[in-house]
Structures are given as structure tokens and as C-alpha cells.
Structure 1
């Protein structure tokens, strides 16, 4: 009997291989052949699932967004209240551990790819907007509980907090500070917002 293939798992395997290559060499340098070698599959198999490098990049971005979503869910699963929800979600975009470094470095590679002439990603914009919306919901909850000044715009605060976390993430990736210091700075900003 022929072996059954889990096509979704195979696509994830190939997308994960692209993330591994891109996190060390950048998206521009990741060829389909290198991705195949990293995944331990043939080039033809990569081309079967992703007909072009653009398709591979789009598929890997979808996988990457799911990985970031997993990181957010893991860090907010045991949260007790909006402060911990915000801290958990924002810390998910900090490259403070090896997995985070690989995921966030590759995510920033997509920004670099778009800025250097690659196709801007509508998917990436939607994912960022969804995270901002999630954060705005946490801020609004904190406001309804009286923990955060209700006169502040929750949407604007969410944008500012995510921009801070992204900026701190870049400073970790470039060696300007370590993950612990970035988390300390992020926590300090939340403490001031919650007047702690």
C-alpha cells in the first residue's frame, strides 16, 4: 500500500526550512535548492508544493505568522488580567530565546525584502493589524477595569506598544542590548501605562 503523505505537514516542513535558511542568510539569498537541502527533500518536491520562489515566500510567511501566533498564545495562556496579556503578547515579538530569534529575524527579513524591491506583503500587513487589534482589545479591557487611563486611545496605544516591542526586538537582533534588558524596558513602559 502506498505511503500516505500529509501535504500540510510537508508544506510546513518546507516553510520551516526557508525560515532556517532566511534566519542565517536573509530571504534574498534563500534559493529553492538551499531550502530543499535544509528540508532534506528534493528540489522537485519543493517545486511541487511551491511553483516559484514568490510562492515559497508567501507560503513561508503564512507559516511564520502562525508561528508568531503560537508564541503569543503560549505567552498569554496563563495570563491573569490585561497587564499580563499585554506583556505576554508583546514579549512574543522579542527575540529573547533561540526560537524567537529565528522567527523574529525572519519576520524582519520580510520587511527588508519589501523595502529592497520585493513585493510588499498584504498578508504581513494583515497579520500586523491583527496583532495591533488584539493589543488594543487588551488595552480597552484594562481601561474598562480602571487600570489604564480611559481617555487614551486604545488603538493608538496598541500601535505604540507594538512599535516599541518591534524596535526593542531589532536592538536585540543587532546586539545593542540583550533580551533581558529589552524585556525590562518593555515591562517598564507597561508599568507606567498601568501606573504601577
Structure 2
């Protein structure tokens, strides 16, 4: 009796093959045939799951966003529930940095998508929705910190988040380019967060005021 095919698993395998090519050779090397070879299947299998190259490339963006989400959730779960805003920010920004082989490969793939959008916008996949969603969610986290007195009242949550993400993305490039180590990059992120949360009334950066309820990672992500 022939083995039953798990279609979702097969789709994930093909997307993973695409991202391996993107992270090692760039999107210019991606084709339906190359993905088939990387995944060890026939070209017809790739064409069955993805109608064209653009649909295939879009699956890569979706998977990269999902991997970041899983990475954040795993790190947050290791710290417990009811995390204060400063910890939430450190977890998320730290998850963006290429701290191991898997996250490094993901960031190389993100870079490949970004570069493709700059050099060949007609064929590029619009991946802005994932960073935009993250920016909106983190803005809510900082806004709650302002309301709780952990961040100065005159701080603009959106501008603070844009600044933090720009800083972190710049650090990603410097780590990938071996200009600095991951530990150095993490130290820069913490330095910036320490100054943002320096006005915490409790005297400890990132500690929620008495009587407040800190947002959890899960509830914040699900509401974004």
C-alpha cells in the first residue's frame, strides 16, 4: 500500500529547500528546478504545490516570519509568564540577531529577499507585512511601558520601536559581516534598552510598577 503523503509537511520541505538556497546562494539562484534538486524531488512535485516561482518565494517570507515567531515564543517560555515590557523587548530583539546557525541562515535569507527587492523590484516578493506587524506589536509593548511609568512619559512609542529595530537590523548586518560578535551586539541592544527604561519608578530597569500586570508574549503576539 503506498505511503500517504502529508501535503503540509511536503510544502514545508520545499519551502525549507528554497530558504537553504536563498541563504547560501541568494535568490538569484532560486528556480523551481533548483528547489526540486535541493529537496530531492522531481520538478513536477514543486509545480504541484506551487503554481509559479512567485508563489514559491512568498512561502519563504511566510516561513521566515513563522520561524522568528517560534524563536520568540520558545525564549519567552523559558523565562516564564507575565514578562515585563523591557524583557519582552530584549527577547524579541535578541531573537532577531543571528545568535546560532539556524538564526544566521534565516537572516541571510532575509537579506537575500531584501537585496532582491532593491535590485529587481518587478520580481521581488513584498515581505514588508512581517516587519510592519512586528513594529506595530512592539509599539504596543512600549506604549504600555509608558502608561506604566517604566518609560518616560514624553517618549514616542513608535519612534522608539523604529529606532530599536533599525539598531538591531544594523547589528544583524555587522554580525553577519563579522564586524562584531553576537555578544557585542547583544550588549549594544541592552545598553539601549537600559537607557529607555532608566526612568522605571521601581529603580530596576524593566521591573513593572506595583499593581500593574505585564503583558505576556503570547497575548501580545496573538493580538497583533
Tell me the TM-score range normalised by the shorter chain. Answer: over 0.9
What is the rounded CA distance, in whole Å, between the counterparts of 2:117 and 2:197 in structure 1?
Answer: 36
Greater length-normalized contact order (CA 8 Å, ≥ 6 residues apart)? 2
Matching residue of 1:191? 194
- For residue 177 of structure 1, the aligned residue among 163, 175, 180 is 180
In proportion to residue count, which structure has more helix? 1
What is the rounded CA distance, in whole Å, between the counterparts of 1:120 and 1:19 in structure 2?
Answer: 15
What is the rounded CA distance, in whole Å, between the counterparts of 2:113 and 2:27 in structure 1?
Answer: 7
Larger radius of gyration: 2
Matching residue of 1:48? 48
Contact 2:57/2:125 (<8 A) preserved: no
Matching residue of 1:95? 98
Cα-to-partner distance string for 1:63-117 (whole Å, 9 max, x where unaligned): 1111121122223333621111000011111111111101111011111010011
Matching residue of 1:81? 84
Cα-to-partner distance string for 1:22-41 (whole Å, 9 max, x where unaligned): 11111111232222222122
Q: What value does the CA root-mean-square deviation take over the aligned residues?
A: 1.5
Matching residue of 2:9? 9
Dislocated runs of 4+, deviation >6 Å: none
Contact 2:97/2:182 (<8 A) preserved: yes
Matching residue of 2:112? 109
User: 5+ residue gaps in structure 2?
Assistant: 199-204, 206-224
Moved more, 162-171 or 138-147: 138-147
Moved more, 147-156 or 113-122: 113-122
What is the rounded CA distance, in whole Å, between the counterparts of 2:57 and 2:11 in structure 1?
Answer: 12
TM-score normalised according to structure 2 size: 0.82
TM-score normalised according to structure 1 size: 0.93
Equivalent residue pairs, number: 195
The residue correspondences of 1:67-78 to structure 2 (distance < 5 A) are 67-77=67-77, 78=79
Matching residue of 1:155? 158
Contact 2:36/2:42 (<8 A) preserved: yes
User: 5+ residue gaps in structure 1?
Assistant: none
